[in-house]
């Protein structure tokens, strides 16, 4: 069984415990030979997949307890196997969700690291530089490149800290491993979204 | 005596306690009839002003105690009259600096509110929306527009809080008044940078 999670930047695949990624451009030329169970937050790609026979959209099968309006299906899938905890998907955007006793209590969004870079670049040529994620957070920066990296990384980490309180934190997404290192109560699981997709396939007896 | 602070988005003027703003485009067509003491962080405009007789660049006259490399002259001016405290200039970028016993201890940078909007918009059409600064920060968001605003405002406020500790906070810049409302130990001073410029004029006996 092949799973696919189509995000804002890439399409991530899962099969038999293996994970790989295609760019949107590569994904356009991908022709499956077997059923692909997928979720998709990209509207143009979603429209195209709806006409393809071997692609099965899992979105309608998720039964998720929340009052949050318009929650992305990738966030729902990431939360789907977590009963209690804070779920952080650090990709193009960083989404943060709180689950308590199997209920979704709400969540919020931060820009992903490269979106921060684009935000800085939009202000001035002087702020157009790559972020340095390994910036020291225990001393005040003494130059612009450090000042930008410190602002981004420390503001994200600090907000995650005060939000999670004593909950366990489940990280996923391209920068999930990086952020997980700042927390003692953290678990990094690259396959969190796929685990949600596998659960819904089982619940709905799709396979 | 006329003062002018040319930033990344606008040129701010000060004369006899009055403050007004010109866009960069309007500033291009501005021809002074008297001396204008200015500071400028915009490289192309700075290059042009250097050839104009009535424009006097104050940057060389600032004597500022810091090991920070390449600190913008607007940040130096904003810190110049503060002996102890945290200085926050919330404009196109949000700069945060710490002064202690007349010494600059370092600082960091966050994107300004519209740079965050541009960062979000770069991720997905679904995240392209104006921020709502009056978002409630005491409850988890339940829809995307609130989730974006909450992420931005709460991550900024939280980092300012843990940075300032028991210091006084001096806010300036276009969004300075807005952010100052979240703090009991805050002072908003729209003319903070101009006060620094006035101090240097006095020190250097320029007028």
Domain regions of chain A by residue span: 2-57, 73-190
B-chain CB neighbours of A116 within 8 Å are 111, 119
The answer to whether B123 contacts A108, with C-beta atoms less than 8 Å apart, is no
What ipTM does the predicted assembly reach?
0.94
Among A43, A67, A150, the residue with its CB nearest the CB of B142 is A67
Tens-of-pLDDT digits for all 207 residues of chain B?
A: 999 999 988 999 999 999 999 999 999 999 999 999 999 999 999 999 988 999 999 999 999 999 999 999 999 999 999 999 999 999 999 999 999 999 999 999 999 999 999 999 999 999 999 999 889 999 999 999 999 999 999 999 999 999 999 999 999 999 999 999 999 999 999 999 999 999 999 999 997
Q: B123 and A158: CB-CB below 8 Å?
A: no
- Which residues in chain A touch residue B123, judged by CB atoms under 8 angstroms apart? 8, 92-93, 111-112, 115
Q: Are strands A2-6 and A10-15 parallel, antiparallel or unpaired?
A: antiparallel
Tell me how many residue pairs between chain A and chain B have CB atoms under 8 A apart: 151
Residue pair B129/A141 in contact (Cβ under 8 Å)? The answer is no
Is-contact A129 A145, C-beta < 8 A?
yes
Q: pLDDT value at position B207?
A: 79
User: pLDDT tens digit string along A41-73?
Assistant: 999 999 999 889 999 999 999 999 999 999 999
Interface test with A, best of B142, B149, B153 (most A CBs within 10 A): B142
Number of C-alpha atoms within 13 angstroms, CB side, residue B70?
10
**For B114, nearest residue in chain A (alpha carbons):** A119
- CA separation for the pair B166, A180 (Å, rounded): 30
Q: Taking CB atoms and an 8 Å limit, are A70 and B144 in contact across chains?
A: yes
Name the nearest CA neighbour of B109 among A111, A134, A117, A90. A117
pLDDT over threshold 90, residue A207? no
Question: Do A2-57 and A73-190 show the same overall fold?
Answer: yes
In chain A, which residue's Cα lies nearest the Cα of B69? A143
The CATH class that applies to domain A73-190 reads alpha beta
Q: Is the pLDDT of residue A131 over 90?
A: yes
Give per-residue burial for B48-79: e unless 16+ CB within 10 Å, then b: ebeeeeebbebeeebebebebeebbbbbbbbb
Domain B73-189 grouped into CATH 3.30.420.40:
yes
* Residues of B marked as catalytic: 74
Interchain pair A124, B96: CB under 8 A: no
Cβ A93–B124 below 8 Å, yes or no? yes
Q: Which residues of B are annotated as a binding site for K(+)?
A: 89
- Per the prediction, chain A carries an average pLDDT of 96
Query: What tokens appear for A163 in the block?
Result: 């939000």
CATH code reported for the domain at B2-57: 3.30.420.40
In chain A, where does DSSP find H-type helix?
24-28, 43-49, 73-79, 113-123, 144-164, 176-180, 192-203
CB A116 within 8 A of CB B124: no
Note the pLDDT of residue A9: 86
């Amino acid at each position: 069984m092949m799973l696919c999670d189509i995000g804002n930047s890439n399409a991530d695949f899962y099969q038999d415990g293996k994970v790989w990624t295609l760019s949107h451009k590569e994904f356009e030329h991908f022709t499956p030979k077997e059923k692909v169970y997928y979720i998709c937050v990209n509207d143009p790609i979603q429209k195209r997949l709806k006409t393809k026979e071997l692609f099965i959209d899992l979105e309608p099968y998720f039964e998720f307890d929340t009052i949050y309006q318009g929650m992305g299906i990738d966030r729902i899938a990431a939360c789907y196997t977590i009963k209690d905890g804070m779920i952080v998907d650090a990709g193009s955007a960083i989404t943060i969700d709180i689950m308590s006793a199997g209920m979704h209590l709400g969540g919020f969004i931060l820009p992903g690291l490269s979106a921060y870079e684009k935000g800085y670049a939009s202000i001035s040529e002087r702020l157009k530089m790559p972020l340095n994620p390994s910036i020291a957070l225990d001393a005040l920066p003494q130059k612009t490149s450090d000042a930008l990296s410190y602002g981004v990384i420390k503001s994200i980490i600090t907000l995650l800290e005060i939000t999670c309180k004593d909950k366990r934190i489940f990280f996923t997404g391209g920068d999930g491993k990086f952020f997980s290192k700042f927390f003692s109560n953290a678990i990094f699981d690259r396959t969190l979204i796929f685990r949600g997709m596998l659960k819904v396939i089982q619940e709905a007896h799709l396979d």
